[in-house]
Amino acid sequence: MAGYRYRCPADGFVEASFPIGTAPASVECDSCRGPARRVFSSPALTNRHAPGAKALDMHAMSQSSPGVVTRSTDGQANRSNRGTASPTSRLPRP
């Protein structure tokens, strides 16, 4: 449901909700029962409390000043990289 705004000449603004794309050009005013014509305004598209708002803010912030990793996060920072003499040791056993 989307919120729409209508203006009554006698009583001012009237708010109404309709499914998107089904809003009529005019509605009946709640107070005077006269016609209230639809008023077009900018849509309220932003919701700063949405779950993705923090992620979008962090993404934008990381583009201008990315964080620097100073240590390993998986606990393997002190483990040395021991190579084997034979590359076939990594192949699956029959």
Percent of the chain with pLDDT over 90: 31
Model confidence over 12-45: pLDDT tens digits? 999 999 998 899 999 999 899 999 999 987 776 6
Q: What is the DSSP string of 17-33?
A: EE-TT---SEEE-TTT-
CATH class as words, domain 2-39: mainly beta
pLDDT bucket at 60, cuts 50 / 70 / 90: confident
